[in-house]
Amino acid sequence: MRLLVFVIMLLVPLWTPLSGRSAEFGDIDVSVYMLGSWPHDQNLYNQGTTVPASIQQGVGAGIKIGLFPYFTKRVVGIELDSFGHGGALSFLNNPNGHNSGIGRSDMLVLNTMFNLVLRYPGEVVMPYVGIGAGWSHGILLNPNIQGRADKDFDSARAFGHQYLAGVRAMVSPKVFIFGEYRYFSANYHWEGLAVDFRAHYGLFGVGLHF
């Protein structure tokens, strides 16, 4: 996230010359969005035992920067995409076969992805599809899991990938809105705890076109 903010700060003074020269090399899109997450309930590995887990829905936000070069006819492009959302885990806590009630933890998911996007070159309405890959962080916040050496903050880094499809609509020559669906996947492994995270995302956002 800090790297993305730094990149944006470097680009801000260049927006005017970039917008003037964008026709020479392609399109640049910068957008922000809100998202909702609908994770799949999954089996969870907890201290030697595999049990069903419930993963709660969450809300979050993100930002992405896209480049669609002229040599691809502005149809194929790449995006740097960073987003995060909340959630929670709960499961029957049976460490090593011993019943210890319910294990719970708040959860924060932070992702930085690179997307390859294919879009229909419409002038006003532009459908698109894409695939992305990058790094994901699954963070446990204030876990309460008996039998585990809990920390207030425990992070697991994992490779993540996503599939996406959406529609963009221009509301002025420089401003657009968009809606998007994503399916995201990453496998998180904390100390004594692991889950294969799978989630559907719904997005709505607004952006600037240069």
**pLDDT, tens only, 184-201:** 999 999 988 999 999 999
CA dihedral sign, ordered 207, 134, 192, 152: negative
Residue 7 domain-assigned (yes or no)? no
Residue 15 domain-assigned (yes or no)? no
Residue 158 domain-assigned (yes or no)? yes
Residue 61 domain-assigned (yes or no)? yes
If pLDDT is split at 50, 70 and 90, which confidence band does 78 have? Answer: very high
Residue 90 domain-assigned (yes or no)? yes
pLDDT digits (tens, 9 = 90+) for 138-159: 999 999 888 778 778 899 999 9
Domain count, the chain: 1
Phi (first) and psi of residue 10, to 5 degrees: -70, -35
**pLDDT at 96 (0 to 100):** 64
Which residues form the domain of 57?
26-209
CA distance 201 to 145: 28
User: From the CA atom positions of the chain, what is the Rg in Å?
Assistant: 20
Residue 43 domain-assigned (yes or no)? yes
CA distance 182 to 109: 15
Residue 10 domain-assigned (yes or no)? no
Domain of residue 39, CATH code: 2.40.160.20
pLDDT digits (tens, 9 = 90+) for 56-66: 999 999 999 99
Residue 3 domain-assigned (yes or no)? no
Q: What is the pTM of this model?
A: 0.84
Stretch 37-51: mean pLDDT, rounded?
90
